[in-house]
Amino acid sequence: MRPAQLKEKIINVSLNSSSLYSKVKSKARELAEFLKEGYLVISMGKASMTMFKGFIDGSGLEPIEGLIVKPRGLGYDVALDKIDVIEAGHPLPDEGSLRAGEKALTIARRAGELERPLVVLVSGGGSAMVESPIEGVSLEDLVTINRLLLNSGASISEINVVRRHLSRVKGGGLVKASGNVEVYGLYASDVPGDFLEDIASGPTAPDPTTFHDALEVMKRYELLDRAPEGVVKVLRKGEEGALEETLKPGDPRLRRVTNVIVASAFDVVNGVAKALSEEGYNTIILTTTAQGESREVGKFLASITFDIIRKGVPLRPPAAIVAGGETSVSVKGHGLGGRNQELALSWALELRRLGIRGDDALMIALATDGIDGPTDAAGAAITPGSIDLMYRSGVNPVKALIENDSYHALASVDALIKTGPTGSNLNNVIVILVSGHEH
């Protein structure tokens, strides 16, 4: 089967492999015996609805009280009593995020008062959607610093170092608030390396970083002079020891905490790789932790694709490279796009520069949550041949890349993938297919 014919299958396998319902349901069965006397629950992030349903169905137990924090615009059909549902913003926090943060802390304290376990279901997006800032930091400050960080080219790990040190929820904040009860954190990882402290900034996880580290991130990306005064003041006070640090590894309170990663990008990447092997492609999983500037990663992947096409290394065609991770974009232009769209456009441009013009190579770059950047697209599916089609339609793809306007360039050749919000979030998947071999 040629690359173009496999496009829909790859997208479907990617989304099916990222489904969290069954994974959470299985883990909930294991935990049910510890929750029979009653428990409280908080479910946050882009997959909050799916994870909540999986937990309820798996445990067979309804919570005493609970909170679901979901993305704006995502439907829900939960009808349980004593479950609050709050819509909140992403990728930037909003008033809903603050309500969700205060409610999450209230439920954590309530668990301590009732001496009942607290279950926290965590998926990507929770950093923006659940927030209770340290005194001195306003919502406007949070929006500004998040926008600066997201557009700076900083990695998600670096961004979350700063986020954790501005928050009462993040970096183990829910553990601090819960008194002496057992806490069970079930995490769906959307970050490279699956570090708990980076998944929604780790509301039940220890944080190995410090206020000093947060200031170093700000310095590294030259944000100190552009950041809100309240943010800088809080970070400096923390560095001086005037504010309590986040929960640290080795803290005795962690003895009552069980954190488990129930799903990660590897599940998606492995599922896609198996499907392509079954289709007869020589397949390799390149990495599940791809990071760096999207356009530079795109160029690097183009060089590998070129070698497969021209030299049959590291794989002979028909060949498939599968990768996962989270690249970043330093936004300097005024266009529209996302990390996957920019990566795909850069890949196709680089192959075109190297003299590859046809459709025997295909890249699919896809966000498993269905949302790539501030757009209605999940990513892109493109061939090197698409570049000439862009020029013929009056679009200059080089200029589009410079302006961070990959969305409109890709739209001009019908290369965007649109799935709508998927109710899951296991990072991004990148697939490269090569069917032919040039001599």
127: number of CA atoms within 13 Å, CB side?
31
DSSP H or E stretch at residue 158: helix 156-164
d(CA 425, CA 330): 22
HEC secondary structure over 337-387: CCHHHHHHHHHHHHHHHCCCCCCCEEEEEEECCCCCCCCCCCEEEECCHHH
Contacts of 255 (CB under 8 A, 6+ apart): none
Between 94 and 75, name the one with better pLDDT: 94
Lowest mean pLDDT among 8-12, 252-256, 395-399: 8-12
Q: What pLDDT does residue 436 have?
A: 66
Would you list the DSSP string of 74-118? -------TTEEEEEE-SSS--HHHHHHHHHHHHHHHHHHHHT--E
The tokens describing 188, both together, are 């769906």
Q: What pLDDT does residue 423 have?
A: 83
Lowest mean pLDDT among 71-75, 218-222, 244-248, 334-338: 71-75
Q: Is the pLDDT of residue 81 over 80?
A: no
DSSP H or E stretch at residue 236: helix 229-239
Lowest mean pLDDT among 328-332, 345-349, 414-418: 328-332
152: which DSSP letter? B
Instruction: Determine the longest span between alpha carbons in the chain, in angstroms.
Output: 72
d(CA 355, CA 376): 32
Asked if 368 and 268 touch (Cβ cutoff 8 Å), the reply is: yes
d(CA 168, CA 133): 6
Q: Looking up tokens 């920019």, which residue turns up?
A: 342
Would you list the DSSP string of 159-218? HHHHHHTTBSSTTTHHHHHTTTS-EEEEEE--SGGG-GGGGGG-TTS-----HHHHHHHH
For 414-422, what is the mean pLDDT? Answer: 94
Q: What pLDDT does residue 19 have?
A: 82
Asked if 246 and 171 touch (Cβ cutoff 8 Å), the reply is: yes
Q: Is the pLDDT of residue 438 over 60?
A: no
Asked if 117 and 108 touch (Cβ cutoff 8 Å), the reply is: no
DSSP H or E stretch at residue 323: strand 319-325
Start-to-end CA distance of the chain, whole Å, equals 22
Q: Is 290 left (phi over 0), alpha (psi -120 to 50) or beta?
A: beta
Q: Is the pLDDT of residue 439 over 50?
A: no
- Binned at pLDDT 50, 70 and 90, residue 437 comes out as low
pTM of the full structure: 0.88
- What is the percentage of the chain residues whose pLDDT exceeds 90? 90
Average pLDDT, the chain: 95
Q: What pLDDT does residue 76 have?
A: 67
